Structure 1
Amino acid sequence: MSSSSSRLLTGHFPEYELLENSLTQAFHGRAALLFNSGYHMNIGILPALADSKTLILADKLIHASMIDGIRLSSAKYVRYRHNDLNHLTQLLQKYHADEAFERIIVVTESIFSMDGDETDLAALVSIKQQFCKVMLYVDEAHAIGVRGAQGLGCAEQYAVIDDIDLLVGTFGKAIASVGGYLICHAVIRDYLINAMRPLIFSTAQPPICMAWTNFVFQKVLGLDQRRQYLQSTSQYLQQAVQSKGFECPSTSHIVPVIVGDSIKTVEKAKALQDAGFYIMPVRPPTVPQHSSRLRICLTAQITQADLDQLIPLL
């Protein structure tokens, strides 16, 4: 039930290698590295890779864990407007020729956790290929399991797995477990094992968790019909929310109902909970001022009949 120490000491077990091998096999033979959580992952990778000669260009709405990772690094940090790849390109053109920077890391999520919208990964890869100093860091926490033919995320869906330098995700969402993972070049994996502080100085996950994650991951690869069903119910709800007059930027199974006022949002969430729907309010500072929302997270177990009961209550 415990690994008792970090993987670099006595906390390494065959179950870790089995899961990493499963990930490597699924992700086109690329190297895989496991972490205790998505937060551990995001606060560890960037500080290990990014030094004072690194520039990080990050989407304005990246997750707090990624922001913390950037702050822990010694890199310069500039944000680009949310999903505005033209703005990103302008920043790349501005900074790429600057000799102060040996490397530029572009940091984004594929599906964003609060708006439920997504970045154009194919376009992002195309931009990256125009600049030799650029590496891509893409967090698929909300895409793994639910996008792509095998559920490998938006990177699989848009056929860019091999073009993303640092492809990260978590097991705590669709994989029904705990932990994080990185898909990368083998050299980067070896470097992080020896340089990433949250990996080196944390007790590793219990082997039983690794075995469970591997079991679920193998099942998820074959759930394409359920993924298609989830996509159709998500689109149904998105359209219904918009037809009620709410702003809803979602293109995914995360469907926000943006109310605006915090007190009204909390009251509406409580009314929905009293009616039997477990929907939580999200308020500042998690989201910007005046954009409080109900955050509806769909799964393949939710039926259209369920949604038809929910929609009139909105």
Structure 2
Amino acid sequence: MLEDIRRELAGLEDKGRLRTLRTISERRGPFVEIEGRRLLNLASNDYLGLSVGLEPDKILEILREFGTGAGASRLLSGNHLYYEILEETLRSLYGRPALVFASGYLANLGVLSGLLGRRDVVFADKLIHASLIDGLRLSGATFYRYPHLNLELLEDLLKEHRSRFRRAVILTESVFSMDGDFPDLRTLVALKKRYEAFLMVDEAHAVGVFGKRGLGLSEEEGLLEEIDVLIGTFGKALGSYGAFVVTHEEIRRLLISRARSFIFTTALPPVVVAASLSGLRRAVDMERERRKLRELSRKLRRELRLSRGGLQDEVPIVPVIIGEDRKALEVSKRLFEAGFFAPAIRPPTVPEGTARLRLSLSASMDWSHLEPLIGTLRSLACA
């Protein structure tokens, strides 16, 4: 069996798809140190630069009060005070009950498998995150995947299949993590009403970035009350770890009893939940940083001739499509040598033939950090 695994590893290496880990020895603002090199970090989702976390005195206070770990699942003895404060804060911001999960992956697994079963159906965008796909498989529900952002074909699927099932969910991300684009949320709201479906939106890459208070694209579009199940994360723009679901009270109660990834997971340590609470509260007031981040995104796209117009240019995820896997690896290596950390993104993370660099920006960056990147990419024939 090990020989068979060795052949599989060799096959991945031949295709340029063998993943490896690189150790970061230091982080300072938007920079990281890897293998003795100081690099601008273009591979982080720390959009607001909040991942520096809590003040040392606050961390020590929480550790003295609660220790290092929760010690049990939330349904046993792990549901500490900081969970209650965090979920009440989320409720006050979003206007609807919230439930915190241990990670975005576990939230997506738990919500889909806890809410749906074999009598139900999901209509999902083709490019949804792997965690959502795994949640669909775990749920046992029938699911149909429509071409990316093609809401006309989504409606065709709804017309053909919705009436045969008990519950129906329309499933999308708000900002897609590898393409930096987003769907027409207003049309999705209209479709969910027309076909009596729940609308579930994964806002992982929009929380902190969009909306007056940083609550996501749904807030930006004035549609918070229309999203039946909103997934957010603390591990990206909010600078901590974990995830949350904002939904109807009935769905929240059902998830507590049915979501296996909630029931059978040890609760997050109090210091981590407190860091999430701190990040959430700080992000609400970071309008200036959001404006800066969105302006950096717009300017970089313009300089790289990747402008798409309107709000799409303000997404802090800038994909530079290379195509072939090995070429993407070579470009990433050359950028590393020039002082930029931008790992190559290859299938199966992205579709075949679309290997790319995913340039992820942060409000902790300045234009002076990014300007040299443009010349480097042009010299590599990537822009």
TM-score normalized by structure 1?
A: 0.95
Instruction: Give the superposition deviation at 1:131.
Output: 1.7
Alignment-derived partner of residue 160 in structure 2: 94
Q: In the aligned structure 1, how far is the partner of 2:158 from the partner of 2:218?
A: 22
Alignment-derived partner of residue 271 in structure 1: 334
Q: In the aligned structure 2, how far is the partner of 1:264 from the partner of 1:95?
A: 42
- Residue 61 of structure 1 pairs with residue 124 of structure 2: no
Alignment-derived partner of residue 79 in structure 2: 12
RCO comparison, higher one (Cα < 8 Å, 6+): 2
Alignment-derived partner of residue 151 in structure 1: 214
Alignment-derived partner of residue 241 in structure 2: 178
Q: In the aligned structure 2, how far is the partner of 1:60 from the partner of 1:180?
A: 23
Instruction: Give the superposition deviation at 1:239.
Output: 2.0
Instruction: Give the superposition deviation at 1:96.
Output: 2.5
- Residue 128 of structure 1 pairs with residue 195 of structure 2: no
Instruction: Give the superposition deviation at 1:250.
Output: 6.3
The one-letter code of the counterpart of 1:37 is S
After superposition, residues 70-109 of structure 1 pair within 5 angstroms as 70-98=136-164, 101-109=165-173
Q: In the aligned structure 2, how far is the partner of 1:86 from the partner of 1:56?
A: 16
Alignment-derived partner of residue 110 in structure 1: 174
Residues 221-252 of structure 1: CA deviation (Å, up to 9, x unaligned): 000111111111101111222269xxxx8651
Judge which range, 235-244 or 289-298, deviates more.
Answer: 235-244
> Contact 1:116–1:252 at 8 Å: present in 2 too?
yes
Q: Secondary structure at the match of 2:123?
A: strand
The one-letter code of the counterpart of 2:144 is V
Alignment-derived partner of residue 3 in structure 1: 70
Q: Secondary structure at the match of 1:287?
A: coil
The one-letter code of the counterpart of 1:290 is G
Residues 116-146 of structure 1: CA deviation (Å, up to 9, x unaligned): 11111122112212122x0011000100001
Instruction: Give the superposition deviation at 1:285.
Output: 1.2
After superposition, residues 207-226 of structure 1 pair within 5 angstroms as 207-226=270-289
Q: Secondary structure at the match of 1:177?
A: coil
Alignment-derived partner of residue 27 in structure 2: none
Instruction: Give the superposition deviation at 1:254.
Output: 0.4
After superposition, residues 149-298 of structure 1 pair within 5 angstroms as 149-242=212-305, 252-298=315-361
Q: In the aligned structure 1, how far is the partner of 2:121 from the partner of 2:328?
A: 38
Q: In the aligned structure 2, how far is the partner of 1:216 from the partner of 1:97?
A: 43
The one-letter code of the counterpart of 1:130 is R
Q: In the aligned structure 2, how far is the partner of 1:301 from the partner of 1:11?
A: 34
Alignment-derived partner of residue 39 in structure 2: none
Q: How many residue pairs end up in the alignment?
A: 306
TM-score normalized by structure 2?
A: 0.78
Structure 1: gaps spanning 5 or more residues: none
Residues 206 and 126 of structure 1: is their aligned pair in 2 closer, same or farther, counting only changes over 3 Å?
Answer: same
Q: Secondary structure at the match of 1:258?
A: strand
Bigger radius of gyration: 2
Q: In the aligned structure 2, how far is the partner of 1:74 from the partner of 1:284?
A: 26
Instruction: Give the superposition deviation at 1:95.
Output: 1.5
Instruction: Give the superposition deviation at 1:9.
Output: 0.7
> Contact 2:124–2:170 at 8 Å: present in 1 too?
yes
The one-letter code of the counterpart of 1:109 is E
Instruction: Give the superposition deviation at 1:73.
Output: 0.8
Q: In the aligned structure 2, how far is the partner of 1:299 from the partner of 1:179?
A: 20
Q: Secondary structure at the match of 1:97?
A: helix
Instruction: Give the superposition deviation at 1:299.
Output: 0.5
Q: Percent identity?
A: 42
Q: In the aligned structure 2, how far is the partner of 1:127 from the partner of 1:174?
A: 30
Residues 54-78 of structure 1: CA deviation (Å, up to 9, x unaligned): 1111100000000000000111011
